[in-house]
Each structure stands twice: as structure tokens, then as C-alpha cells.
């Protein structure tokens, strides 16, 4: 019985240690099986989410922007606060043009942009 | 008796650890051969193998298919046609990589193409270890008919 409790506790600590807690909104990220792993870089990073309905939700405070101009202002504010990189968490079903919009804004502000992807298990190789 | 029970418990622990270890590194890869579209296979067969460095343009379209075009430094500009689905794209890229000198791929995603489709093209390049450049095309209001109309 004691042994069982030991194992359960070890598993529990294991799960807790690999759990990822974040305050960003839930979106269905695009999936890929062979991309390099995401760099665990959280400094100078501004996170923008693009939800299923097409709304840009910015930062941990979940500030929803209504227009491209407002998004640009938010990005400029983040840049002034020290951000050099933007990470986009976009719903997999959103059109590419919305990524292009953010790409353009980041280009204007000289900010780096990366897209967050969910890594799925290795697939069948052709 | 207590000693025996201790040994059994230890044995169960070790077995569990080994089992978890094996599961975590298990390769559940199941290889398969994917057929190429007949027309495209014929085009690939006619390509010379001594051409100079080639680049492949992959255009992701709204229907989930991909338009492929091969270009080379010698001026070759050869539309390879359309492949549907990311599995077929991977098979085509693997063959192009294996049989021809492929320097890289330029992935272009039309404005209304779902993000997942563009990511599938990137993933296929990564699988085949083909250096790629990705560009999401902005919505300029122009219809994407030109891309869709190609054979």
C-alpha cells in the first residue's frame, strides 16, 4: 500500500513538473511533426493570439484590438517596453492573410515574428 | 518471507522503470509507400539529373492542394502541377530531394489559405530536410484564380 502511494506521488510530481501553465487564451494551434523545438525564450517577447473568430488578443492581459492601427499601437508600446520578438499563437483555421498583416506590422517596427506550432508525434515517413 | 517480498517489490519497481523508459523512447514509426499522381511522376521522370541548382516553389492553395514549380539557375522554369494533400506533398518532396539537386523551397501561402495548410508545406520541407523560406501573402483584394487555374 505504501509502495502504491509512493508511485502515485512520484507520478503526480512528474506530471506537475512537466505541466505548462500560461495565461494566454486557448486557441487550436497549427500542428507539425518535424519542426525544430520551440526555443524557451520568454525575455523581450510579446505574445499575440489570433482566436478562431479572427480577433487579435494581445499579451497576458488579453487586450483585444479592434483594428490594424490599434494592433500596431500595441506592438509599438511593447517595443518601447523592451520587446524585440513577437510570438503569434494563431488558430490553425485562420487565413494566411492575417499572419501576413502581423508580419507587415512587425516588419514596419523591425520586430521579429515567430509562429507557435504544436509538435505532434513523429509521423509516417514517405 | 519479508526479504522475498522486498525482492519482489524491487523487481516490480525496476520493471516499471524499464517499461516507462521503453515507452518514452519507443519508435512507433510505421513506414508506408505513398503513390505519386501519375502525371507528376511522368514529369519527374523526364527531368535531367545533371541540371544546376534547383529551387522549388510551393504554393499552398485554399483547397488544401499545393502547386509546384521548379526553377533552376540555368533558366529552367517547369510547372510540376498540383498535388493534393500533405501526404502526397511529402512523397513528392522526398523524391525530388532524392533524385534531383534541390537547393531549397519557397513556400507561398495565398491570403485565404488556412494556416494549417501552409504549416503542412513547411512541415513537409522539414521532414525532407529541404531548406525553406515561407511567405504569407497579404490580402490585396485580388482573386487567387491565377493560382487555382493552373493544371
Number of domains observed in the structure of chain B: 1
Which phi-psi region, left, alpha or beta, contains residue A110 (left: φ > 0; alpha: ψ -120 to 50)? Answer: left
Average pLDDT of chain B is 75
Looking at the domain assignment, is residue B136 inside a domain?
yes
pLDDT at B151 over 50: no
The minimum CA-CA distance between A31 and chain B, rounded to whole Å, is 7
Residue with the bigger pLDDT between A39 and B75: it is B75
B58 touches chain A (CB under 8 A): no
CA distance B97 to B94: 5
CATH for B119: 3.30.420.60
A94 touches chain B (CB under 8 A): yes
| Residue-range domain boundaries for chain A | 25-119
Looking at the domain assignment, is residue B2 inside a domain?
no
Domain hosting B58: range is 38-148
Looking at the domain assignment, is residue B116 inside a domain?
yes
Residue with the bigger pLDDT between B22 and A44: it is A44
pLDDT at B25 over 70: no
Query: Which string of b and e fits B37-73 if b means at least 16 CB within 10 Å?
Result: beebeebbeebeeeeeebbbbbbbbbeebbbbbbbbe
State the best of B136, B139, B147 to mutate against chain A, taking most chain A CBs within 10 Å: B136
Query: Could you state, in chain order, the average pLDDT of each consecutive group of 10 residues for chain A (126 residues)?
Result: 79 72 71 70 82 89 88 93 88 90 88 83 50
* Lowest-pLDDT range of A15-19, B75-79, B133-137, B146-150: B146-150
pLDDT at B13 over 90: no
- Inter-chain touch B30–A103, beta carbons under 8 Å: no
Looking at the domain assignment, is residue B30 inside a domain?
no
What pLDDT was estimated at residue A2? 73
What pLDDT was estimated at residue B116? 92
User: Any idea how long chain B is?
Assistant: 151
Which phi-psi region, left, alpha or beta, contains residue B76 (left: φ > 0; alpha: ψ -120 to 50)? Answer: beta
What pLDDT was estimated at residue B86? 86
Looking at the domain assignment, is residue B47 inside a domain?
yes
Residue with the bigger pLDDT between A124 and B57: it is B57
Q: Is the ipTM of this complex over 0.95?
A: no
For the domain A25-119, what is the CATH code? Answer: 3.30.420
| Among candidate residues B70, B47, B66, the one with its CA nearest the CA of residue B57 | B70
B141 touches chain A (CB under 8 A): no
Chain B neighbors of A126, CB-CB under 8 A: 32-34, 87, 90-91, 94, 127
DSSP-derived letter for residue A70 is: H
Looking at the domain assignment, is residue B3 inside a domain?
no
- Out of B9, B87, B136, name the one closest to residue A96 (CB): B136
Count CB neighbours of A17 within 10 A. 7
What pLDDT was estimated at residue B26? 62
What pLDDT was estimated at residue B36? 40
B34-47 tens-digit pLDDT = 344 445 555 555 55
Amino acid at each position: 500500500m505504501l509502495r502504491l502511494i509512493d508511485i502515485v506521488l512520484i507520478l503526480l510530481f512528474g506530471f506537475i513538473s512537466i505541466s505548462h501553465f500560461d495565461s494566454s487564451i486557448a486557441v487550436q494551434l497549427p500542428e507539425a511533426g518535424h519542426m525544430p523545438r520551440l526555443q524557451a525564450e520568454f525575455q523581450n517577447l510579446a505574445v499575440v493570439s489570433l482566436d478562431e473568430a479572427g480577433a487579435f488578443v494581445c499579451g497576458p492581459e488579453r487586450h483585444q484590438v479592434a483594428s490594424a492601427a490599434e494592433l500596431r499601437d500595441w506592438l509599438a508600446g511593447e517595443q518601447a517596453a523592451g520587446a524585440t520578438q513577437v510570438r503569434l499563437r494563431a488558430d490553425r483555421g485562420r487565413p494566411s492573410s492575417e499572419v501576413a498583416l502581423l508580419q507587415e506590422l512587425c516588419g514596419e517596427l523591425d520586430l521579429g515574428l515567430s509562429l507557435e506550432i504544436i509538435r505532434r508525434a513523429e509521423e509516417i515517413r514517405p | 518471507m519479508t526479504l522475498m517480498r522486498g525482492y519482489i517489490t524491487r523487481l516490480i519497481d525496476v520493471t516499471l522503470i524499464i517499461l516507462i523508459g521503453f515507452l518514452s523512447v519507443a519508435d512507433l514509426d510505421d513506414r508506408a509507400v505513398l503513390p505519386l499522381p501519375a502525371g507528376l511522376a511522368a514529369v519527374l521522370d523526364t527531368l535531367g539529373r545533371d541540371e544546376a541548382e534547383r529551387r522549388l516553389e510551393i504554393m499552398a492553395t485554399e483547397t488544401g492542394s499545393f502547386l509546384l514549380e521548379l526553377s533552376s539557375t540555368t533558366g529552367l522554369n517547369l510547372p510540376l502541377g498540383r498535388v493534393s494533400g500533405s501526404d502526397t506533398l511529402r512523397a513528392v518532396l522526398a523524391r525530388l530531394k532524392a533524385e534531383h539537386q534541390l537547393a531549397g523551397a519557397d513556400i507561398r501561402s495565398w491570403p485565404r489559405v488556412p494556416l494549417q495548410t501552409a504549416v503542412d508545406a513547411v512541415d513537409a520541407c522539414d521532414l525532407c530536410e529541404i531548406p525553406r523560406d515561407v511567405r504569407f501573402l497579404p490580402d490585396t483584394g485580388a482573386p487567387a484564380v491565377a493560382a487555382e487555374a493552373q493544371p
